[in-house]
Amino acid sequence: MLTRKLFYILFSFLLFSCNNHESEKIYIGFSQCISSDQWRKDMNHSMMVQTSLYPNINLKISEANRSVEKQISQIEDFIEEDVDVLLVSPLETKKIVPVIERAYEKGIPVILIDRKIDSDKYTAFVGADNIAVGRMAASYIASSAADNISILEIKGTDNSSPTIERSLGFNQIAKEVDNIESVFTIENYTDDQFSRILDTLDTTKTDYVFSFNDILARSAWQVAENKGLADDLKFVGVDGLVGPDGGINMILDGRLQATVLYPTGGAEAIKLARRVYAGEQVPKNNSLNITLIDKLNADIMKNQYEKINEQQLELEKQLLAIEQQEEKYYVQNNLLKIAMALLAVILSLAIYSIYSIRIIRRKNKELQLTNEKVVNQRNKIKSIAEEIKRVNKAKINFFTGVSHEFKTPLTLIMSSLESIYMDLKGHKSRHQSDLDVISRNSKRLLRLINNLLDFRRIEDEEFNLKVSKTNLLEFSEKVSMDFKKEAKKRSISFEISSNDKDLNVYIDRNLMDKVYFNLLSNAFKFTPDNGSIKIHLDHQENKNIVNIHFKDSGIGIPENEKGQLFKPFFKAANNNKKSSGIGLNITKQFVELHKGNIEVNSHQGTEFVISLPTTKDQFSSDQIISTVDNEQPIYFEDDFELEENNDLIPASGEGDQDQYSILIIEDNYDLSRFLNNKLGKKYRTYLSDGSDALEKAFEHIPDIIICDINLPGKDGFEICETLKKDLRTSHIPTIILTALGDRESYLKGLKSGADLYLTKPFSFAILLQSLKSLLYNREKLRYYYTNNLFKLEKENKFSNSEQEFISRLNNLIKDHLDHSDFTVEKLAEELNVSRVQLYRKVKALLGMNISDYINNYKLENAKMYLEETDLSVSEIAYKCGFSTPNYFSTSFKNKYGASPASYRKSYNNSN
C-alpha cells in the first residue's frame, strides 16, 4: 500500500518535470500569399531561422499560391486554431480585409508583412517603404542618365500595395527631375507584349527600363537580348537578391544596371510577434531599410550577402547542434530524474523492506514464543490428560474390580434367598417384606453392577457379538412381558405393533434385551400414570432395515440436550429421578455393535428410534450362532413385581387417633416402606412418593413430616418451603432426610424452614429420637399456650407465622364476640382454610379443639367483664356471644366452678 502510493507520487512528479520545457509555447501562424519565387522563399527561411532561436515558438506557414480565396480560408483556420499571433503577407488589398479584421477583433494580434491592406484593423506592419523604393530607383536613373531620356516602367500582374506604391514613388521623381522626359508604363507585363513594344520602340530615345522587381527585369532583359536590343537599354530592378538569377548577380554579369535592395522582413516579423505576444506596445509601422545596388557596390553586397549567408548557415548548424544537445539534455535530464525517482523508490522500498523484515522478525520471535508456550501447554495438557486417563482407568479398574467382588457375595445372598423362598414354599413369613426388600435390592444392585461392567467392556472393545436369527415381534413381546404389570398398575396403555409379523433379524438377544430394558424402564420412569407407551416395528423392506420406535407420553427431553443424551453420565435437566447416566450410553453402543443406530425425537413425550439392518451381511461368520443361549437376563426380574406389594403395606394414617401422625415423603419405595414399617408401630403414618406431598400434607395436617430432597416434580426444599409458608401447615415440624450431605444443601434445607436436616445413611435410632424431641418440644409449647391463652399475642413465643395465625384467629373471634351465631365454619372461611384444617391446626398448635378455644375465649372475656364492669350477667352473656344467659351461666360454672353472679360477688369481696 505504502509503496504503491510512493510510486504514484514519483511517477506524477516525473511526468510533470519531463514535459515542463514544452509548457510555454507561442503559436504563430503565417499566411504567405506566394511561395514560388526566391524572395518569398528567403522570407520564409529567415522566419524559420529566427524561430529556431526561440524553442518556445511554434511557427506554422500556410502558402496560398496566389489564391485570395485560399489565403482567406487559411486565415480562418488560424483563427479557429486560436493562434497566439497571426502573420499575413496579403496577396491584394481588398478581398482579404474582412477575415483579417475578424481575427483582429477576436483579439488575435495581426502583423502584416511586405504588403498592406485597405484597413487599419491590424496590429503592426513590417516592410520597406515602397514609395521610397520607387523614388530611389527613379533618382538613380535620373542621376546617371543623360538629358531627355525616356523610361519604360514594367508593372506586375497583381494589384498589391508594393506595385502601386513603387510606381507612385517612381513617377513622383520622374516628374520632378528635368532629364526624364517620359515614362511609359506597361501594366500586367508579359514577354509577348514587351516583345511587340520593343519592335516599335525607338531605342535611341528610350534608355531605361524600370521593373517592378528583379524577376520581371530579367524577363524583359531576355526578351531584349533575344532581339539584340539588350545593349541599347539599361535595366533597373527591385529586390537585390544574391543567386544565379538574383539582382546582384545580374548587375555583376551586366544584365542589370542597378537594383533596390528590398528586405523580406521575415526575421523582423518573428521578433515583432514575440514582443506583441509578450504584451509590449509596438509601433504600428515598422519600416525596413532599403539600399540601391549598382556596379559600384554589387561585389561588396554580394560578399556581404554570402558572408551573412555563411554565418547564417553556421548559425543554423549551431542551432541544430544546440537543439540536438538540448534534446539530449532533456532526454538525459529526464533519464536522470527517472533514475533519481527510481532510486528514491528503491530506497523507500529498501527502507520499507528493512522495516518489514524487522517487524517480521519480531513477529516471528513472538510467534516462536507463543508456539513454545502452546507446545508447552499442549504437552502439559497431554500429560495431565494422560494422568487423568491413567487415574480414570485406575478408578474404572477399581470399580470393575470392586464390582466383580460384589458379584460373588451378591450371588451368594441371592442364592441364599432363593433357598429361603424355596423353604417357605409359598408360605408367608413374618419376615416376608424384609426378604422381599433384600431380594429386590440385591437384583437392583446386580443390574447396576452389570451395567457398570458392560460399560467397561464397551470401553475396552471387549464385546464379542453373538447374533442369532430372531423373530423381532416375538422377541419384543417377550421382553415387554415384564413391564405389563407395571403398565396395568399405573393405567398406562402399553402396546406393541408391527407392520411385518414374520420379520426375522440377526441380533444378540442378551444385548438387545438390555437395550429394550433400558428404553422401556426409561419410558416407564418418565411416563405419568394414565399415559401411554408404544413399541412399533416398521420394516422397510426396500431399504433392508427395521425401525423400532419406542414412544412414550412422558416429560420429554429438552431440545438443546438431545445431542448429549447418549453421552456417558449425562442426566437431562428435567430428570430428577435417580439415574446412573450410563444406561442410554450402553444402549447406543449395543445398537451400534449391531451396525444400527439410535435417534431420539422429543415432541409430546419421547421417541427413541432404533434402526437395524435386517440382513446378516454385516456380521462375520463367527459372530453368527445358530443356537441361542437361553439364560434369562437378570433384568427381566425387575422391581415392578415387588412394587405391586405396595398395597400390602398400608400406611397406618387412619389408625389410632391418639397417636401422633407422620407424613413420610420419600420416592424410594424400600425406604418409604421401611420407615412406614418401623414408625407405623408408634405413629399414624401417611406415605407420599413426592408427587402428592403437598396435597397429603394439607389433607391430613400431620403432626410431623419426614421429607426427602430428590423427588419427582417438586423437590424437598420446595415442598418444605411451601408447607412452612402455608397457614395450615406452617406449625408442623419438618425433618429433611436426604443423601445430599454437602454444606450448601444443608443450608438450603434450613432456609426452607426445615426443623432438622438428617443425611443418609441415617441411624434409625437417631431419627426416632429426633421425632420424639421435636414432638416433645411441640407438646411443651402447646402446654404453655393452653395455659397462657391470652398472653400469647404479647409474648411472641411462636414463630412469626404461628404468631400471625393466633393474632388473626383471636381478632376474628374478638370481632364476632357478640355474635352468638358465629360458627367454626365461618371462622375457617374467614381464615381461608377448611373446617377440618382449622380443627387440626388449632389442635396441633394449642392442644384443644377450636370450639373449646372459642368458648374459652368468650368465657375469659366474660370473666374480665364481671371483674371490671358493672354490666349485668345477661348483658355480658350477649356481649360475649352466648345465645342465652342460662347457657352462659352453665358454661361459666363448668369452667370456673361458680356461677357468674357468685364469681363477681366473691371477686368484689376479695378486692
What are the residues binding ligand FRU (CB under 6 A)? Answer: 34, 37, 39-40, 114-115, 160, 162, 213, 215, 238-239, 262
Burial of residue 515 (CB within 10 Å: 0-12, 13-18, 19+) is buried
Cβ closest to ligand FRU, residue 100 vs residue 610: 100
CA distance 735 to 753: 10
Judged by CB, which is closer to ligand FRU: 213, or 661? 213
CB 258 within 8 A of CB 293: yes
Q: How far is the CB of 117 from ligand FRU (least distance, A)?
A: 13
User: How near is the Cβ of 224 to ligand FRU at its closest, in Å?
Assistant: 20
- Smallest distance, Å, CB 124 to ligand FRU? 17
Handedness of CA 247, 252, 258, 263 (dihedral sign): positive
| Spatial separation of the C-alpha atoms in residues 7 and 3, rounded to whole Å | 6
Tell me whether strands 285-288 and 124-128 are parallel, antiparallel or unpaired: parallel
How far is the C-alpha of 199 from the C-alpha of 281, rounded, in Å?
55
Phi, psi dihedrals of residue 680, rounded to the nearest 5°: -60, -20
- Tell the smallest beta-carbon distance from residue 265 to ligand FRU (Å): 10
Measure CA 9 to chain center: 35
C-alpha span between 249 and 255 (Å, rounded)? 9
Nearest approach, Cβ of 241 to ligand FRU (angstroms)? 9
Closest CB 137 distance from ligand FRU, rounded Å: 12
Nearer to ligand FRU, 110 or 112 (CB): 112
Nearest to 759 by CA among 722, 688, 710: 710
Give Cβ neighbours of residue 317 (< 8 Å, ≥ 6 apart).
none
Q: Which has the closest alpha carbon to 146: 208, 217, 200, 201?
A: 208
Considering the complex, what minimum distance in angstroms separates the CB of residue 158 from ligand FRU? 8
**Min. distance of Cβ 15 from ligand FRU in angstroms?**
47
As a dihedral over the C-alpha atoms of residue 745, residue 750, residue 752, residue 754, rounded to 10 degrees, the angle is: 120
Cell numbers found for residue 38: 526566391
Nearest alpha carbon to residue 303 among 342, 231, 248, 244: 248
Shortest Å distance, C-beta 20 to ligand FRU: 41
User: Could you count the other beta carbons within 10 Å of the beta carbon of residue 182?
Assistant: 12
Cα separation of 44 and 126, whole Å?
Answer: 14
With respect to ligand FRU, which residue has the nearer C-beta, 160 or 521?
Answer: 160
Nearer to ligand FRU among residue 287 and residue 902 (C-beta)? 287
> CB-wise, 44 or 575, nearer to ligand FRU?
44
Rank residues 34 and 117 by Cβ distance to ligand FRU and give the closer one. Answer: 34
* 160 versus 442: smaller Cβ distance to ligand FRU: 160
213/685 with CB nearer ligand FRU:
213
Q: Is 683 helix (H, G, I), strand (E, B) or coil?
A: coil
Helix axes 472-489, 509-526, angle to 10 degrees: 30
Q: Could you tell me the smallest distance in angstroms from the CB atom of residue 161 to ligand FRU?
A: 8
Pick the closest to residue 469 from 507, 510, 516 (CA basis).
507
Residue 41 vs 485, nearer CB to ligand FRU:
41
How many CA atoms, within 13 angstroms, populate the side-chain half-sphere of residue 136? 21
What's the distance, Cα to Cα, between the start and end of the chain in Å? 114
Residues 667 and 716: their CA atoms lie apart, in Å, by 11
Toward ligand FRU, which CB reaches closer, 157 or 574? Answer: 157
Of residues 850, 847, 849, 862, the one with CA closest to residue 894: 862
C-alpha cell at 329: 539534455
Find the shortest distance in angstroms from Cβ 235 to ligand FRU: 14
Least distance from C-beta 132 to ligand FRU, angstroms?
13
Nearer to ligand FRU, 162 or 733 (CB): 162
Please count the other Cβ atoms lying within 10 Å of the Cβ belonging to residue 152.
Answer: 22
Instruction: Return the residue matching grid coordinates 433384568.
Output: 635
| Residue 269 Cβ vs ligand FRU, minimum distance, rounded to whole Å | 14
Q: Which is nearer to ligand FRU, 265 or 583 (CB)?
A: 265
User: What secondary structure does DSSP assign to 216-254, as a single string?
Assistant: HHHHHHHHHHHTT-GGGSEEEEEE---STTSHHHHHHTT
E strand or H helix that includes residue 695 = helix 693-700
Structural contact between residues 734 and 758, judged by C-beta atoms closer than 8 angstroms? no
If the CB atoms of residues 215 and 873 are measured against ligand FRU, the closer one turns out to be 215
- Taken in order 145, 147, 149, 153, is the CA torsion positive or negative? positive
Q: Give the nearest distance from C-beta 127 to ligand FRU in angstroms.
A: 8
Q: Determine the residue with CB nearest ligand FRU.
A: 213
**Residue 38 CB, nearest approach to ligand FRU (Å):** 8
Of the candidates 211, 254, 213, the one whose C-alpha atom is nearest the C-alpha of residue 231 is 254
CB-nearer residue toward ligand FRU: 211 or 602: 211
Nearest to 827 by CA among 785, 857, 868, 797: 857
Cell 490428560 belongs to 385
Of 114 and 508, which CB lies nearer to ligand FRU in the complex structure?
A: 114
SS (H, E, C) 448-492: HHHHHHHHHHHHCCCCCCCEEEEEHHHHHHHHHHHHHHHHHHCCC
Q: Least CB distance from residue 302 to ligand FRU, whole Å?
A: 18
Closer residue to ligand FRU, CB minimum distance, 35 or 722: 35
From the CB of 228, what's the least distance to ligand FRU, in Å? 27
Cis peptide preceding 761, ω within 30 of 0 = yes
> Cell numbers 404461628 label which residue?
802
Residue 170 or 822 having the CB closest to ligand FRU = 170
Give me the least distance between CB of 160 and ligand FRU, in Å please. 5
